[in-house]
Structure 1
Amino acid sequence: MTNDPPVRGDVLVAGVALGLVGVAVGIGWLCNRWHVPIRANAAPLFADWLPHVGPGTPVAVAVAVLAVAYGPQMAARSRWPSLLITAYLTAVAWTFSLALVDGWQRGLAGRLTTRPEYLHEVPRVTDIPATLRAFTGRILDFQPDSWTTHTSGHPPGALLVFVWLDRIGLGGGGWAAIVCVLLGATAAVTVPVTVRALCGEEAARACVPFLALFPGAVWMGVSADAVFTAVVAAGLALLVAPRLALFGGALLGFAMYLSYGLVLVALLALVAVGSVRRLAWGVAGAAAVVVAFTAAGFRWLDGYHLVVIRYYQGIAAQRPYAYWVWADLACLVLCAGPAAAPTLRRALTAPWPNRLPVTALLAIVAADLSGLSKAEVERIWLPYAVWLLAGAHLLPASTRRWWLAAQAATALAVNHLVLTNW
């Protein structure tokens, strides 16, 4: 690694970011020791301290070593279609192996079958149109038919994804986990495709290894937010593609019905879109989805209003904003990896097409300040965290392998030191 001033600046901001993690861990430990109700045993992560290894450990280490050793070289020399295929397969192997550090049942098949998760509600959905019409009436807690935590906290699109999987014969925790991983890994393809359209192929190639070895894969396997990430990334990729903006807008519109927080993806869309005409087609696609859900009986604004009330009916009412408003950003460092800090530093002064990482950060800050994301953001912010690495090409070529190694080390450390809830 060279030691010129710009590189020293990169190391400095990464050090500050990791320092924030250290402070959040230390204060979180004190809060738990003093019985401050932060409701996270391994704060700032929603996890439990449990150093361990598992069947996925040797595979995860092998994937990391190979990706760090050969990833940048392959990204520079491979044919573009072959590179995307390799990136996707690497992301799948990386995510599965990290999840299997906790074993098949604990790390994959059982993740989405607990009572707060969507699969708990799937058997109760026997009539989809009736479910949509009655959805908002079941959001608030302390009613006989209240939705469980995750279903109540999201628009109905999230539940429908798992209902549809069940209807096509892919029911149960095992299939749900596999689908989440396979879809989440597509971000290693769709984010570089978007970068290529905006910044050129050389920039996109440099980003590929960072997306394939994304530290957030720890929570991609397994959480429904992996699906949300895939939908947003695919929507933006289609939005910037010639003659596909309508379909991109439709996907981004559907994303709004997966998670209320994904309305902030509009900021990314505005930065990514290249023309007024393409923006108009995108808006038309999104509007069609809004009209369809509204006609089916679910009104987004009504749902959002009730979710805010439901949010403070649970443990969020106890979690102190004074801790989480900054500790959430420490979670982001672990999810996006230390390379995100120097990437953002360079993106701040880069030409406009390179501003996607900065825009993603603005969306994250808005979500953070809202107070509706106290804890658990390591998975909630996955749809935005992947875009922090869309500027990895801004890092000096001579340092990228080192940053990639730091990314892999972060994910391996998290997955082996704590037992995550996703």
Structure 2
Amino acid sequence: MKSARREIVAAIAAVVLVVAAFTVPHLGLGIVTPLINSTARQISMYAQTAPIFGWWNAHVGWGTVPAIAIGLATALWGPAVAHRLPWRAVPWVAWATSCAWAFALAMVDGWSLGFARRLETPNEYLRQVPTVTDIPYALRTFSSRILDFQPDSWITHVSGHPPGALLTFVWLERIGLGGGAWAALLCLLVGSSAAAAILVTAKTLSGEELARRAAPFVAVAPTAIWIAVSADGYFAGVAAWGLALLAVAVRGTTRLSLAAGAGAGLLLGWAIFLNYGLGLIALPAVAVLIAAKDRRSALRALIPAVVAALAVVGAFALAGFWWFDGYLLVQQRYWQGIAMNRPFQYWAWANFASVVCAVGLGTVAGVARAFDLRAIKDRSGLHLVILFALLAIVLADLSMLSKAEVERIWLPYTVWLTAAGALLAPRSHRWWLGLNVLGALALNHLILTNW
């Protein structure tokens, strides 16, 4: 009874936070507003639907009926199906469902606007791809082109990320898969695969039963709205599999630990060259290590992971790009742009309203259950990973380098929060899943999101 009360209180508090975040921008409260020192047109362009980046536009599309069908079916029958399927099928079905759900939500906006052309907008990576004719030269000069107001400055998203993100789309184009549709497909497939990675991690660290309970929640999470059409979905998928392999390493045999640990290091090492913010993925990784059976198991996984991650860092350094140089310059670039006009007095708390929209009320209720002292003392892996992912979000918020657009930027962490639904009482799963699905459908049909 006490747990149920905690869940309801958390959900109500989340609703109040979201309502406040959508309402405050229209109250004229000075600097407690999404955008200052800006024209009416700029406010309309960048903060019309704050705290979500998008524009008010009630609409339906080709994806509406499939999205409703997938969401409704998963809410009604997902828990039972996840319980009855052979375990080997569960991650695959969750991945397929997540992929279909994300694509259907994207198609609410139509093929071109909702999917194929989203990554071709002026500030996206694909606009920069044709200018990269010499990859070694691009890497050697990457840092020198980060700051704005130079003749050869990188466009916004390229300058704001390490070179791995741009390289991904350059390589995609060079193997004959250029253009927005192929780029979006990559983000969709890798991003939605995070659902399977989370379930593998949950089973490895906390047992099959809890992983099965998590399956429907990660399959139709509202985060899918941004996974299908943003590079951050790709980043989230890479990081998720890095953590999954680390979990396998801490619980596996000696030989498996070495191989999985090395794989985890390669993926997590690559992840920090996709997004500077993924430096904080070290926190969920620490949670995985804490959940190891003993210190020896943790070290057996950690050593090859660190060696492999350092190999990635070394490869980029030899190519001419030093991560810390890029990170320091990106902070300067950040404050050269719209960040100056996004007051922390609003975004410090409104960011969390964006998170609520991205994960759903069912996830919020589940996260309230993650604060379980007994489970934490027992080193329950799923509890620890969820709490450390939440800590990463809090630190990212306090850094003041994530003001707005966090429904997309924080995907590598919010996807882990969605697994918190597994901690809810099984008899309530349908209701919480239904709330998550309803929230995602409402947001996607009322707001034309930027991603």
Structure-2-length-normalised TM-score:
0.91
Check if 1:373 corresponds to 2:402.
Answer: yes
Work out the CA distance in 2 between the residues paired with 1:121 and 1:32.
Answer: 39
Shift of 1:186: 0.2
Q: 2:388 aligns with which of 359, 362, 368?
A: 359
Q: 1:342 aligns with which of 360, 365, 369?
A: 365
* Aligned twin of 1:322: 345
Q: 1:71 aligns with which of 78, 95, 114?
A: 78
* Aligned twin of 2:268: 252
* Aligned twin of 2:87: 80
Distance 1:61 1:345, change over 3 A: same
* Aligned twin of 1:393: 422
Give the letter aligned to residue 64 of structure 1.
Answer: G
Check if 1:194 corresponds to 2:201.
Answer: yes
Give the letter aligned to residue 216 of structure 2.
Answer: P
Work out the CA distance in 2 between the residues paired with 1:183 and 1:65.
Answer: 24
* Aligned twin of 2:295: none
Deviations 1:346-369 (A, max 9, x none): 111133222211110100000001
Paired residues, number:
419
Shift of 1:281: 1.5
* Aligned twin of 1:290: 313
* Aligned twin of 1:28: 25
Work out the CA distance in 1 between the residues paired with 2:120 and 2:27.
Answer: 32
* Aligned twin of 1:126: 133
Identity %: 51
Q: 2:437 aligns with which of 398, 408, 422?
A: 408
* Aligned twin of 1:62: 69
Check if 1:91 corresponds to 2:98.
Answer: yes
The CA RMSD measured in Å over matched residues stands at: 1.4
Work out the CA distance in 2 between the residues paired with 1:212 and 1:367.
Answer: 25
1:169-208 maps to which residues of 2 (within 5 A)? Answer: 169-208=176-215
* Aligned twin of 1:210: 217
* Aligned twin of 2:116: 109
Shift of 1:40: 1.3
Work out the CA distance in 2 between the residues paired with 1:413 and 1:207.
Answer: 23
Give the letter aligned to residue 389 of structure 1.
Answer: T
Check if 1:11 corresponds to 2:8.
Answer: yes
Deviations 1:83-110 (A, max 9, x none): 2221111111100000000001110011
Distance 1:31 1:251, change over 3 A: farther
Give the letter aligned to residue 429 of structure 2.
Answer: R
Work out the CA distance in 2 between the residues paired with 1:32 and 1:310.
Answer: 28
Work out the CA distance in 2 between the residues paired with 1:286 and 1:215.
Answer: 31
* Aligned twin of 1:280: 303
Work out the CA distance in 2 between the residues paired with 1:288 and 1:391.
Answer: 34
Work out the CA distance in 1 between the residues paired with 2:416 and 2:364.
Answer: 12
The answer to whether the Cα contact below 8 Å between 2:262 and 2:305 also exists between their aligned partners in 1 is: yes
Shift of 1:5: 3.2
Shift of 1:390: 2.7
Shift of 1:32: 10
The answer to whether the Cα contact below 8 Å between 1:141 and 1:313 also exists between their aligned partners in 2 is: yes
Q: For 1:45, what is the secondary structure of its paired residue?
A: coil
Shift of 1:391: 2.9
The answer to whether the Cα contact below 8 Å between 2:246 and 2:301 also exists between their aligned partners in 1 is: yes
Q: For 1:322, what is the secondary structure of its paired residue?
A: helix
Work out the CA distance in 2 between the residues paired with 1:373 and 1:87.
Answer: 30
Work out the CA distance in 1 between the residues paired with 2:89 and 2:312.
Answer: 34
* Aligned twin of 1:419: 448
Work out the CA distance in 2 between the residues paired with 1:240 and 1:129.
Answer: 35
The answer to whether the Cα contact below 8 Å between 1:337 and 1:407 also exists between their aligned partners in 2 is: yes
Which shows bigger deviation, 48-57 or 23-32? 23-32
Work out the CA distance in 2 between the residues paired with 1:286 and 1:313.
Answer: 31
1:145-184 maps to which residues of 2 (within 5 A)? Answer: 145-184=152-191
Work out the CA distance in 1 between the residues paired with 2:368 and 2:359.
Answer: 14
Which shows bigger deviation, 384-393 or 262-271? 384-393
Work out the CA distance in 2 between the residues paired with 1:25 and 1:140.
Answer: 33
Shift of 1:394: 1.3
Work out the CA distance in 2 between the residues paired with 1:405 and 1:32.
Answer: 35
The answer to whether the Cα contact below 8 Å between 1:29 and 1:43 also exists between their aligned partners in 2 is: no
Shift of 1:31: 5.1
Work out the CA distance in 1 between the residues paired with 2:275 and 2:28.
Answer: 30
Work out the CA distance in 2 between the residues paired with 1:391 and 1:60.
Answer: 22
Shift of 1:111: 0.5
Unaligned runs of 5+ in 1: none
